Each structure stands twice: as structure tokens, then as C-alpha cells.
Amino acid sequence: MIIGVPKEVKNNENRVGLTPSSVKHLSELGHSIYVESSAGSSIGFTDDLYISSGATILESAEEIFNSSDLIIKVKEPTDSELQYLREDLSIFTYLHLAGDSNQAKKLLETGVTGIAYETVTASNGSLPLLAPMSYIAGQLSIVVGSYHLLKPYEGRGTLISKIDPRVVTVIGAGVAGREAIGKAIANNAVVKVIDLNQSVLDELQSKYGNQNIEYILSTSESIQEAVSESDLVIGSVYVVGKEAPKVVKKEMLKNMISGSVLVDISIDQGGCFETSKPTNHDKPTFIKDNILHYCVTNMPGAVPLTASNALNHATIPFITELAEKGISKALNENQHLMNGLNIQNGKIIHPAVKEAISL
């Protein structure tokens, strides 16, 4: 199979779809790997390193897309890349279709086969290709949230530490939420954990105990009370294939502390704060009703080397299966991979995505 790796084009997106070690693995199996020039240079993956790993370097994205059977990316295709998509091409990447129905419509018009990392499943019901980036985003949420609480960056002017305990609320205790909870605890925050599932709260309580931690069943009222007392609120709500529910309503901001910070990890799926709108690493925040919002759509792009290595560790078994068996056979024989199939022949295939998007 001919596999193409274009350079990512989103703002400050320095991750890469295949690392040199992944290229080496696939090329040793007899597959041809085309990598766009400088695709990984910003994180030390030089063209020479890719060549020594078995890749062929092509100069443009157009060449990569036109020459390949399967495209491996990190982020969803942008408007500038849609022109290169076609019916006999497959793309394996994060798609997040429910987060932008207009972009989903444009993608459907290309006829491309789109397999989404975020809906591929594992035998235990987990989302193995979403998990590594969720892990990183959860860790980063406390870092960026703490940074933007600093007064020079328009925050409240507080430090999450044991010398002056501050309140951190985490809404949604999935992979990202649990990482945020753990990091907030490590920084001696007073933590409010909110989740819809009582068994999840009970599990976390058995792990962390009750000192400086409150476990709260999610309701509109409990969320409003928690955010009104918080310096930092992390939104990490995720529903497979669907737009994130808006758990923090616009009117709740009026009762929040001026200068407090909202970090919306769910922004790729449309955001879980009603006032969220996508931002980028160049301009990551905006202020609404005196509350600072951080809504960067590619948070793990801030640590692209770590993120690329982590993502490849998770994706390479699935990429190998697609390459070795062919797209159709791999999808038909592996239900977990089939669960990643979102679009094909101009139609939405994934049931949850179909339900979430009205076109």
C-alpha cells in the first residue's frame, strides 16, 4: 500500500502522523511511505531521518495526497486540504465531525473514506486512539489554566498551591478529567469532581479519599454552585461521535469570580461551555463576562514530540492492519476498526455521528 504523511497545517500544529520508527516498521513490511518535506522537522524528525527509515520525501501536500492510497494525519482536513481528497482515497486521522457540521458536509462532498481515531474502540469498551491525547490534554489543562490565572495574563491572580489553597472544578471524569484531577491534587488544590456516573465518583473517592476533594453528581444546580466558587474550571465532557453537551451555561458566568479561568478540553467536539468558541495557540484565550476562556482545538500540539510518539504507539497496530489487509478487508474483519469508520462514499456511516449531524 502507498501511505502518505502530509505536513499538518493547523495553527502551531507540529505533530506528525507517522514518526520515523513507524515509517521503518511499515516500510520493512513492504509498504511505500511518502512523507511531505519538513513534515516532522520542527520536532527533530528530519527528512534525512525519514529517508533512512525507508520513506520517500515529496515536496508538496498535493503530491502526497495524489500519490497515496491511505493518508495518515493528526488533525482533520482543513479547507486547503479538501481539494486533494477523492473517492478512492482513505484518510485515518482525528475527524471530530460532530464539532463542525459545516466542515463535515464539505468532507462528505469529496467522497473520501474517513476513519476517525476518536471512535475506534477496544475490547474493553475504551477509545484507545483518543486516550493518549486525552491524557496529555488533561495534564496540560492544569498547566495552561494555572498560567492564565496569573494577573499579567488577565487571570484572577492566584496560584494553585498549598500556601493559598484554590478551588479547581473538573467536569467529566474520563481519561482527560482524571489526569486533570490527579494534577490538581498534586498541586494542592481544593478539588471538586463532577460526573454523571455515581460509580465513577465512588471509584475516585476510594482512590483519593475525602481530604480537600468533593465528589459531586452532575446536575445543572451542582455545576452552577461549583463553578461559582472556583478559580479554575476544566471541562472534559465527551460523548462518542456526538457534540459535547453544554454543561456550563452562559448565565452561570455571571455568578463566577471575576478573573477565573475556564479550560474547555471538549472544544474539538464543539465545546462543553455554552460560551466557548475555538481558539488557537497564537491567541488561545478570550474573555466573556470577565471570565477567561481557553479553548484551543489542538491542545496536545503544544507538546508535539511527546504527543506524536504517544499517538503513534497507539495507532501503529491499526495502521499496520489497514496496510496489510487493505482498507475494506481490515474494516470488515475488525469491528473495533470498523467503529472508526465515519464517512464513506459521501455518506455518514457511524450511527452516533449520523445522529449528531443533520445535513
Active site residues: 96, 268
d(CA 184, CA 93): 30
d(CA 231, CA 225): 13
d(CA 71, CA 258): 45
Cell numbers describing residue 3: 501511505
309, 91 contact by CB (below 8 A): no
d(CA 9, CA 14): 8
Cβ neighbours for 294, distance < 8 A, ≥ 6 positions apart:
144, 145, 148, 261, 262, 263, 264, 279, 284, 285
Cell numbers describing residue 354: 449520523
234, 144 contact by CB (below 8 A): no
Cβ neighbours for 121, distance < 8 A, ≥ 6 positions apart:
127, 128, 335, 336, 339, 340
